[in-house]
Amino acid sequence: MKNKTNLSFMNSTFWISAIIVLLAVLWGAVNPAGLSKAANAAYGFTTNMFGWFYLFAVLFIVVFLIGLAISKYGSLKLGKDDEKPKYSFYAWIGMLFSTGFGAGLVFWGVAEPMSHFVNSPLVLEGKTPEAARVAMQYSFFNWGIHQWSVFTIVGLVLAYFQFRKGEKGEISTTLNPLIGKTGKRGIRKTINILAVIATVMGVATSLGMGILQINGGLDYLFSIPQNTPVLLTITGILLVMYLTSAVTGLDRGIKILSILNLSMALGLVVIVLALGPTTFILESFTVGIGDYIQNFFGMSLALSPYQGSTWTKEWTVAYWAWVISWSPFVGAFIARISKGRTIREFIFGVLIVPPLIATMWIGVFGGTALHMDLFQGGNISDAVQADVTSALFATFGNFPMSTLLSVIFILLIVTFLVTSADSATFILGMMTSNGNPNPSTLVKVIWGVLMSAIVAVLIISSGLQGLQTASLVTALPFTVILLLITYSLIKTIKEDHRPNIKSESVPDFLRKRKAQ
């Protein structure tokens, strides 16, 4: 049994996924311009033709999740009825936040609102108070409930089928109510392989972005050059760190790092809130939340067919495509750590708390940068336009103890990247080991090394943007899968509890007579 478990990744899902990823990497190494051109063409086609579909699908998921949470099914456990959660609420939230888009939020926390401040989502003059208000509103929206709804639905469906139904932890398994428990092997393999490819490309891209930001910070602080040898050195150090974390297991490596991540992030928020323009931050945060709530549905379905603006497709649609392509990985990990929680607790925990932390981060750091440009003659927006990786370091440059804050910030990026890569190796191991909830160390190491190899090749070949765009193309078929698994979940829940409802409404003498 032990040998069988250790070799459970030796299957077609593993081999086909690995070969496809390697072919993409070779393409990026040999002809990065060709890969980038093909990926951009495919992505441009999907966003232009199906941008409306992304917007409708994600809004539908948000409404569905809220409705399910407040329904009579909200009290159902993701596991046995008497099962208790394994992790404390704080540790659980830390793992959600770190594995989700913690690293991406750190990257864009200042860069995004300052980008919108210069190039407004609406027809507004850039670098004005009106543009600043809209910039905060749309930054909250892009990092808010909609983004996390995609992770929530995938995690919820996987957790329900895995812990309530006793099924394997594979995306294809959640479609059993629609395609049956047996047969359709081609469909199942295709879905699982697509999930693996999306995860590998998405994680590799984010690792690359984080590595670029670390190098940007080191250059800003210590004049360490931004070049290939330095980037590859950082990549190698991160590889050693996240493989070390991976072999220590879920309860040690990822859990400890996640708690550290959340604590450091909240600590930085408190420090900047205290040292920065506190009143302005709190007031702009309040106004931003109000604008977000007031314009919730309008922003959810905002396109510009009459004006011809491409802003929504370049930002919101791109974000939705990104999170959808990441959802197999993040959803699978969230499901893995959420056994024993109720559907209601799961939905509100994943759908509300991480977005709240995200808006706090953007409100504090983005709000500080906006205040500097509006009232202190700062040039943060110019720094962002020149080099997006230095956005937050440029903001810290206006603070006392700026070097110390920047060093802490670099450490936070590192721990976020290590946590994301560590959890990715875990989930990739599970995905390619027939849904094994405890994949072997060997398969985790294989995927960990492969991800770093991809990042290294992309850095050398300058093909990072091409593969990033390619990873987003996988979002279109996955959007259809998201809607199908949503239907599959509600269908299964209703069928599972229909007998109980009927038996409660039938008088005892009729039930006994029917049994005879």
Mind listing the pLDDT tens digit for each residue in 473-509? 778 888 999 999 999 999 999 988 775 444 444 445 4
CA dist 213 and 175 (Å) reads 39
Q: Which residues contact 81 (CB under 8 A, 6 or more apart)?
A: none
Length of the chain: 516
* Residue-level pLDDT at 249: 62
How far out from the chain centre does Cα 353 lie? 14
Stretch (H or E) spanning 512 = helix 508-515
Task: Look up residue 183 and give its DSSP letter.
Answer: S
pLDDT value, residue 506? 45
CA gap 159, 343 in Å, rounded: 10
Q: Quick one: 40-494 is in which CATH superfamily?
A: Amino acid/polyamine transporter I (1.20.1740.10)
Residue 126's nearest CA partner among 137, 139, 113 is: 113
77 in helix, strand or coil?
strand
Domain boundaries, the chain: 40-494
- Which token pair is 64? 């569905």
Closest CA to 171 of 147, 145, 153, 149: 153
User: How far from each other are the two terminal CA atoms of the chain, in whole angstroms?
Assistant: 45
Look at residue 326 in the predicted model and tell me its pLDDT: 82
pLDDT by 10s per residue, the chain, length 516: 444 445 556 688 888 988 887 887 788 778 777 777 777 788 788 888 899 999 999 999 999 999 999 999 999 999 988 899 988 888 888 888 776 566 778 888 899 999 999 999 887 888 999 999 999 999 999 999 999 999 999 999 999 999 998 888 788 889 999 888 776 788 888 888 888 888 887 788 778 888 888 988 888 888 898 888 898 999 999 999 888 877 776 566 677 777 887 888 888 899 999 999 999 999 999 999 999 999 999 999 998 888 878 889 889 998 898 888 888 888 988 998 899 999 999 999 999 998 998 999 999 999 999 999 999 987 899 888 888 887 888 888 888 888 888 888 888 888 888 888 888 888 888 888 887 778 888 888 888 888 888 888 777 766 556 656 766 777 888 899 999 999 999 999 998 877 544 444 444 544 444 445
Per-residue pLDDT, 101? 64
DSSP assignments along 343-389, one per residue: HHHHHHHHHHHHHHHHHHHIIIIIHHHHHHHHHS---HHHHHHH-GG
Distance CA(218)–CA(222), nearest Å, equals: 5
Q: What pLDDT does residue 417 have?
A: 85
Predicted local confidence at residue 299, as pLDDT = 95
Q: Helix or strand or coil: residue 134?
A: helix
